[in-house]
Structure 1
Amino acid sequence: MPGIHPDIISHKLSIFRDARPVAQKKRRLGSEKRQAVDEEVQKLLDAGFIREVKYTTWLANVVLVKKSNDTDALSRQRKNRFHYRTRLPFGLKNAGATYQRLMDKVFENQIGRCMEVYVDDMVRRSHSLEDHVKDLEEVLGQVRKYGMRLNPAKCTFGVNAGRFLWFMLTDRGIEANPDKCKAILEMRNPNSLKEIQRLVGRLTSLSRFIPKLAEKIKPILKLMRKNTPEGWNDECEEAFKGVKEILNVQPVMGRPDPGHALHIFLAVTDTAINAALIQEEPQFKLVYFVSRSLKETEVRYQKLEKVALSLLYVARRLRPYFQGYQVIVRTDYPIAKILRKPDLAGRMIGWSVELSEFGLQYEPRGLVKGQHLAEFVVELPYTILTHAWKLYVDGSTCKAGGGARIVLVGPNDMIVEQSIIFKFKASNNQAEYEALIAGMELARDVGADNLACYTDSQVVEGHMNGSYQVKDDYLLRYFHKAKQLQTRFGEFTITHVPREQNTRADRLSKLANGKEKGVLNSVIRQVLSKPIVGCYAISSPTSSNKQICWKDEIIRLIRRQDEGHNLQVEETKKISRYCLIGEDLYRRGYVTPMMKCLSMEEASYVLRELHHGICGRHTGGRALKARVLRAGFFWPTLEHDCLSFLQKCISCQKHDNVFHAPASELHNIFSPWPFAQWGMDIVGSFPLGQSQKKFLLVAVDYFTKWVEAEPLAIISTAQVKRFIWRLICRFGLPKTIITDNGRQFIDKRLQSFYKELGITSITSSVEHPQTNGQAEAANKIIVNELKKRLGEAKGGWVDEIDHVLWGYRCSPHGSTGESPFNLTYGTDAVLPVEVGEPTVRRQLSDMTINNEQLRSNLDVIDERRHVPAIKNEAYKRLVARRGSSLA
């Protein structure tokens, strides 16, 4: 616009100035079109949007476009006398984005409060006439201030309804555009693929007003598939008529009132997922209908997975609503208790983590209001039968351990499957009891009250029904646990079935323990490292003098929620990232997916082991905290406890670094790839140790920060050469080795060795030893760690050096954010602390999955190394700037 100053907004074009201008052949227009062109061009000249140019080398003919009001408009504002544009045309790339930024800047104080703007569409909204007049004065004042110009023919004031973004905004709410509805109602039956695509596109634009659209037009969608021989048939005609009936009486979508919860109803079929978003208070409002057809792979999902997928899809589609309101999911499916289980398998665990950020609440479906919502849920009957839940269990054993499989069948043919892998040796009867107890717990988790259990074990069935006496002491513990769970059901029966009638559970139990290979996947997958009765025997005892732990309140709230009690909003948010595995509390984290929650006594043990233990390292507070999180542990006062623990460490206080180096300009050295550049140095002499060793030859990789060190009695060129050859055999041929000017490093024989292998040798100058600063920094860390570990027993440094190196390699480095071990092997090492306090990856370990994950980690290790490389370079530049600023 001519009135907008370039300092306010401007659009720059990157033009290739040597390009040859395009000169089209001049086209003549008829008298009517020529008159329309003259009128439009004169309007643009009067408004100052264009100006005349002479002696141009280009020509673009005018193209007239018929508008909705039967008037002609120019799609190119040029006349045959060649006019040059001084305004921003919408034909340019990113022109709309530039114009939107202008609108956002001009009306930044009005947008969201009393005004909505989308490019050149502006809507001013008010609750009363007095407010409308005041707000109009404010908006028009901004228009005058920035010199904008409005088209009076397109401006409307003081109306109760209007169009905005192809919707009708009225005092009742948001309605579909009548013109779009009319286009569908008057549309004849499609005869070609293009017409079918046009029809589906028009219906999709109105999908928020049509409940279960994907399901209703399923016959029409089939026609869009490739190689479909059938054309428009009776099913398509019935579907088209059904949609037209809905458009004749379309629902009105309301704007939700802040501070009141939103409710979601889910509807799932074999080929589509649907959802309805409503608000019941302070008055009933339909907010949004969401519908989508299932992909070919999604059609094979279990029904429970489809329900979870529908919830995930609507959360992604309506994310602003989920973030701004408390959302309550109204469904009779036990999706809440399933999603809260930490041992979900495959995609379900990812969906659970993604949905956990919204703090969703779950309630039974109950009664529904409104005609359209009633039609939405009418096809989802959920009849409670006497034995609505059936449980099929089976266990099997092998030399490596065993497995169990649970198939839980509920109303509406809902199936929940769980597989269990035993990491302990068990008898066949133990495996059957493990399957039975796990199945009963799963049934209670999903809310089953009446349960009919089927097993192919006559022993277990005889024990539970009293036909057989339990003589084995170990099976007696299983029997008492099963009987204890039986009391939690209103009605419970167990029946023996032949193995041939329990084929699915039998086959899936064999898949769990590895006897067979197949494609049957379970929703829940669990790994037991010890018998379930052992777990309960260890974790069930209580003591009257037990200290109060921070975990107790969270565990209590989780159990109350599992029992069906309604929690406060604050309580729901408090436990949203926690879950129970057996009797242990876990927290969903960002560093590791599941972190075990520790009491204060357990936390103290972990800190001691990571700081003083076998692979411990006397690091700073942030590094110690990072190691705790990477190991998979959490407690609320983690950061404070790490700092407090270091302040009480006498070794850290005695031998911590004191910096005396003067400020000077710093230059960083960057390694382009792992193990391409090594820094080497000699540390010593140390007190005489084992085999009269008193020197330490150290090498550090500039990228991964991996450190190798070898104690030596004497330093010679032959030993340096042998040490370098070992590095080459383990990590490959390096490009550069940086050393100081020691005679062992500049020997002619070693230089000849470098030349044969194509290795570049760089030596630091006497005036600037910081060239080999990476090796110097590693030396300082090793010496300080030895001091803190040995104290006065300095002669044992040879035996202690491996522990120091292990601790260094397993600790995250400040410049990369990753440990050298992770950058080298693509995963974190298992630390001894995980033996004393088992973590998730030890308790739920699966060698098959572990091997696959290790291989996949190696496939993406280059991508993982790219991010630490960027962090490393940024860290070096930050240090260089700070050092230079002090110079």
Structure 2
Amino acid sequence: MEMRSPISAKEVQRLTGRIASLTRFLPCSADKNLPFFQLLRKNEKFCWTEECEGAFQKLKEFLTTPPILVKPKLGTPLILYLAVSEKACSSVLVQEEGKEQKPVYFTSKVLHGAELRYQKIEKVALALLSSARRLRPYFQSHTIIVRSDQPIRQVLQKPDLAGRMVTWSVELSEFDIIFEPRGAIKAQALADFIVEMTTEKGSLAPVSWILSVDGSSNLKGSGAGVTLEGPDGVLIEQSLRFEFKASNNQAEYEALVAGMRLALEVGVKELEARSDSQLVTGQVTGSFQTKDPQLSKYLEEVAKLIQKFKSFKLSHVPRDQNSRADLLARLASTKRPGSNRSVIQETLARPSIDQEELLFVTEELESWMGDIIRYLKEDQLPGQENEALRVKKKATKFVIISDQLFKRGFSSPLLKCLAPKQAEYVIAEVHEGVCGSHIGGRALAAKVLRAGYYWPTMKEDCADYVKKCDKCQRFSNLHHAPPEHLSSVVSPWPFFKWGVDILGPFPEAAGQVKFLVVAVDYFTKWIEAEPVATITAERIRKFYWKKIICRFGLPAVLVTDNGTQFASSRVADFCKEWGIKLSFTSVEHPQTNGQAESANKVILQGLKKRLEAAKGLWVEELPMVLWSYHTTPHSSTQETPFKMVYGSDAMIPIEINEPSARVLFARLEENSINLQANLDLQDEVRNRAHVKEEACKRRAARRYDSKVKKRIIKEGDLVLRRKPGVKTPGKLFPH
């Protein structure tokens, strides 16, 4: 019926825009404004109807007494009520203060396109999702209690939902959402919000759900169809495909078992089942005998499931009254999984009677999974408030399927949760099993994750396992990075500390000498060296006396390796007699006596460059090498070792053959006076050189320490020690 418009199209459009800006104050604004939205559609004639007039009058009446919104209190849970109709879905966020409920925010959404064809349970889930997106700050800051009689929680937790429901479930898992049965609205201002009638919480009458099942078996395969109808138009559909051969009767039983399990997962207590199989109905009700042993096992399984319901009834219906379940069964038995995204799809690998009932063992309940399992299965929480809140938030990312705990992941939809012993087995198998290649800790954790497993300490456990793996240690690459920070050795004054080492064997020279005993002063960098034929304790003792004590005085410390010639009792007694402290380093790590090793390199490089074919002349060339070193400025002190020892620079041979300025203009009297003055100023020169050396060592230490990778070893730790000097037998052997 058409009527004359009291307002123009532009005025309606302006009014609709203003109402849209006030949607947070208007309950079910989408339903109220729907006549205006339809009136303003393109390519339609503007016609003011009685429906528009009625909606306009109700809107004016409501705007005269709008609800007063309140500011939510921090830390207080907020309650969310959902309402859906054929063309819109709405929600209201309220805060409960005592026995009164006050609105915080209203949301509303008009359904478009395919959303209009959603099932009732999908529309309720969409209302929750749109509320979470619109009210994200509230969902992030508060615990949200969703009060609804629809089985939203149970349906969203099923992993084999339609594609869009899986996406919604993952998106909602980040919030702290609690689902409760809905009671009565306690605020008069919200009475207009609820579409369907409700009663007080706790006084709800038991509601019977209707289950329709059907099985199908043909040459292409076999499957089952299940439809579960609840109150207020709730409809859940499931299609099962069997990977095993099943007769028509077995398929009918599989459909009934799957439907009853689905009802239990949703939380149904009273169930009325319908099947078009007269045989299955008669055997369950007891009117038919069961002679087939396979069907007897199915009958026993159905009897176990019946005991879990408060009331159960199975009746036979004609096939034409069971068309929807029959269509789902044919869909599962003839088409590939995933062809229909509007129903729950599942694949059974083996018959239900062959599947052992998996129960949570004690190890899982006592592990990190215990609190989550108890909360999801029995709604039990720890006694402490903070711990209970933590479990609630954590449990949103987990789901129980076939009595096993799974975690919703990012790398894969579901990750199976493992107890400690199960985790150890998985790590060992992936690391060194049939497909294992002894990969590193980080790669091992990623591979276990891709395989579909999860536990909270995956990365740490994988790294620890790799560190303890014997084969990984024996066949690993050698570490060249220093394990500890550089420890510089500084001598407080000249000739206080000497480093002594042995260089050789060299080609045998005159006097059958083939070794070189080298000593270097840590302060002046002065080197003393003596060729010897054999390395004995007596030769070392004579070297100490002749080259060090008689020329430079008694040293305080002698640094050597722990070779027998240095650590013998004769040498030890000699040093003890003169009050000299012996400091030993490791033979395997000569770098701990770095000063002596550096002197060895200088001598060796100088001899290599001066010698050609006559390698046996190294003894004759040794004094020239040492003289060159003593008269060359050292990089750390910026002074020559000769000047550090004697107080003046030495005159090199070239200045005699080709006189320099200081030779040409030298005067003996002035030269003697200047040499004496240099000796008086020697302490200042040495102190300045000492400061430069310390600065140089600190720069070297910073550069060295930047490459350090610390490897802390405690007493009692097992380490792999490689034998020095042992050659590798081949490429397949450890280094």
Q: TM-score range by the shorter chain?
A: 0.5 to 0.7
Compared with structure 1, are the counterparts of its residues 547 and 522 closer, same or farther at alpha carbon in structure 2 (3 Å cutoff)?
A: closer
Q: Report the Cα offset of residue 521 of structure 1.
A: 4.5
SS of equivalent residue, structure 2 residue 225:
strand
In the alignment, which of 392, 395, 398 is matched to residue 572 of structure 1? 392
8 A Cα contact 1:419 1:522, kept in partner: no
| 1:129-528 superposed matches below 5 A | 189-192=6-9, 194-229=10-45, 231-281=47-97, 284-380=101-197, 388-399=208-219, 401-514=221-334, 521-528=341-348
Compared with structure 1, are the counterparts of its residues 497 and 335 closer, same or farther at alpha carbon in structure 2 (3 Å cutoff)?
A: same
SS of equivalent residue, structure 2 residue 67:
coil
Give me the whole-angstrom Cα distance separating, in 2, the residues matched to 1:586 and 1:517.
22
In the other structure, the counterpart of 1:691 is none
Compared with structure 1, are the counterparts of its residues 323 and 360 closer, same or farther at alpha carbon in structure 2 (3 Å cutoff)?
A: same
Give me the whole-angstrom Cα distance separating, in 1, the residues matched to 2:46 and 2:198.
33
Q: Looking at both structures, which has the greater relative contact order when contacts are Cα pairs under 8 Å and sequence separation is at least 6? A: 2
For 1:286, give the aligned amino acid.
Answer: P
Compared with structure 1, are the counterparts of its residues 311 and 357 closer, same or farther at alpha carbon in structure 2 (3 Å cutoff)?
A: same
In the other structure, the counterpart of 2:458 is 638
Q: Report the Cα offset of residue 474 of structure 1.
A: 2.7
SS of equivalent residue, structure 2 residue 406:
strand
Q: Report the Cα offset of residue 614 of structure 1.
A: 3.1
Compared with structure 1, are the counterparts of its residues 373 and 562 closer, same or farther at alpha carbon in structure 2 (3 Å cutoff)?
A: farther
Give me the whole-angstrom Cα distance separating, in 2, the residues matched to 1:547 and 1:246.
54
Per-residue deviation, residues 543-582 of structure 1 (Å, max 9, x unmatched): 899995443443232111399x999433322322111111
SS of equivalent residue, structure 1 residue 615:
coil
Per-residue deviation, residues 505-543 of structure 1 (Å, max 9, x unmatched): 001111122259998644422222222222235x25x98
Per-residue deviation, residues 196-251 of structure 1 (Å, max 9, x unmatched): 32221110011111110110121111112232235121111111111111110011
Per-residue deviation, residues 254-305 of structure 1 (Å, max 9, x unmatched): 1011121100110000000000110002563210111111012100000000
Range with greater deviation from structure 2 (229-238 or 458-467): 229-238
Compared with structure 1, are the counterparts of its residues 517 and 633 closer, same or farther at alpha carbon in structure 2 (3 Å cutoff)?
A: closer
1:584 equivalent in alignment to 2:404: yes
SS of equivalent residue, structure 2 residue 105:
strand
SS of equivalent residue, structure 2 residue 283:
helix
Give me the whole-angstrom Cα distance separating, in 2, the residues matched to 1:544 and 1:264.
37
- How many residue pairs get aligned? The number is 478
For 1:627, give the aligned amino acid.
Answer: K
In the alignment, which of 347, 368, 374 is matched to residue 556 of structure 1? 374
Give me the whole-angstrom Cα distance separating, in 2, the residues matched to 1:402 and 1:246.
57
In the other structure, the counterpart of 1:77 is none
Q: Report the Cα offset of residue 658 of structure 1.
A: 3.0
Gaps of 5+ in 1: 1-187, 663-790, 797-887
8 A Cα contact 2:274 2:316, kept in partner: yes
Give me the whole-angstrom Cα distance separating, in 2, the residues matched to 1:555 and 1:266.
28
In the other structure, the counterpart of 1:649 is 469
Q: Report the Cα offset of residue 423 of structure 1.
A: 1.8
Compared with structure 1, are the counterparts of its residues 463 and 230 closer, same or farther at alpha carbon in structure 2 (3 Å cutoff)?
A: farther
8 A Cα contact 1:219 1:239, kept in partner: yes
8 A Cα contact 1:272 1:291, kept in partner: yes
Compared with structure 1, are the counterparts of its residues 451 and 431 closer, same or farther at alpha carbon in structure 2 (3 Å cutoff)?
A: same
8 A Cα contact 1:418 1:522, kept in partner: no
1:535 equivalent in alignment to 2:535: no
SS of equivalent residue, structure 1 residue 628:
helix
For 1:655, give the aligned amino acid.
Answer: F
Q: Report the Cα offset of residue 650 of structure 1.
A: 1.5
Q: Report the Cα offset of residue 795 of structure 1.
A: 8.1
In the alignment, which of 420, 438, 443 is matched to residue 618 of structure 1? 438
Compared with structure 1, are the counterparts of its residues 409 and 324 closer, same or farther at alpha carbon in structure 2 (3 Å cutoff)?
A: same
Range with greater deviation from structure 2 (543-552 or 392-401): 543-552
8 A Cα contact 2:228 2:236, kept in partner: yes
Give me the whole-angstrom Cα distance separating, in 2, the residues matched to 1:254 and 1:653.
65
Compared with structure 1, are the counterparts of its residues 499 and 517 closer, same or farther at alpha carbon in structure 2 (3 Å cutoff)?
A: farther
SS of equivalent residue, structure 2 residue 346:
strand
Give me the whole-angstrom Cα distance separating, in 1, the residues matched to 2:470 and 2:167.
44
8 A Cα contact 2:184 2:198, kept in partner: no
Give me the whole-angstrom Cα distance separating, in 1, the residues matched to 2:328 and 2:28.
35
Give me the whole-angstrom Cα distance separating, in 2, the residues matched to 1:303 and 1:547.
36
8 A Cα contact 1:267 1:380, kept in partner: no
SS of equivalent residue, structure 1 residue 365:
coil
Q: Report the Cα offset of residue 333 of structure 1.
A: 0.8
Give me the whole-angstrom Cα distance separating, in 2, the residues matched to 1:605 and 1:478.
35
| 1:25-36 superposed matches below 5 A | none
Compared with structure 1, are the counterparts of its residues 354 and 546 closer, same or farther at alpha carbon in structure 2 (3 Å cutoff)?
A: closer
Range with greater deviation from structure 2 (523-532 or 321-330): 523-532
Give me the whole-angstrom Cα distance separating, in 2, the residues matched to 1:256 and 1:553.
30
In the other structure, the counterpart of 2:668 is none
Q: Report the Cα offset of residue 486 of structure 1.
A: 0.9
Q: Report the Cα offset of residue 372 of structure 1.
A: 2.0
Give me the whole-angstrom Cα distance separating, in 2, the residues matched to 1:373 and 1:436.
42
Compared with structure 1, are the counterparts of its residues 792 and 228 closer, same or farther at alpha carbon in structure 2 (3 Å cutoff)?
A: farther
Q: Report the Cα offset of residue 631 of structure 1.
A: 1.3
Give me the whole-angstrom Cα distance separating, in 2, the residues matched to 1:267 and 1:304.
11
Give me the whole-angstrom Cα distance separating, in 1, the residues matched to 2:171 and 2:364.
36
Q: Report the Cα offset of residue 613 of structure 1.
A: 2.6
For 2:52, give the aligned amino acid.
Answer: C
Per-residue deviation, residues 364-391 of structure 1 (Å, max 9, x unmatched): 1112122221121154458967763111
Give me the whole-angstrom Cα distance separating, in 2, the residues matched to 1:581 and 1:256.
37
Per-residue deviation, residues 151-209 of structure 1 (Å, max 9, x unmatched): xxxxxxxxxxxxxxxxxxxxxxxxxxxxxxxxxxxxx94422x4332221110011111
For 1:237, give the aligned amino acid.
Answer: E
Q: TM-score, normalised by structure 2?
A: 0.61
SS of equivalent residue, structure 1 residue 376:
coil
Range with greater deviation from structure 2 (612-621 or 449-458): 612-621
8 A Cα contact 1:312 1:355, kept in partner: yes
For 1:292, give the aligned amino acid.
Answer: K
Give me the whole-angstrom Cα distance separating, in 2, the residues matched to 1:517 and 1:501.
26
For 1:527, give the aligned amino acid.
Answer: T
Per-residue deviation, residues 753-798 of structure 1 (Å, max 9, x unmatched): xxxxxxxxxxxxxxxxxxxxxxxxxxxxxxxxxxxxxx999789xx
For 1:412, give the aligned amino acid.
Answer: D
Give me the whole-angstrom Cα distance separating, in 2, the residues matched to 1:413 and 1:378.
13
Q: CA RMSD in A?
A: 3.1
Compared with structure 1, are the counterparts of its residues 621 and 596 closer, same or farther at alpha carbon in structure 2 (3 Å cutoff)?
A: same
Give me the whole-angstrom Cα distance separating, in 2, the residues matched to 1:544 and 1:632.
23
In the other structure, the counterpart of 2:609 is none
1:658 equivalent in alignment to 2:503: no
8 A Cα contact 2:226 2:237, kept in partner: yes
Residue identity over aligned pairs, in percent, reads 46
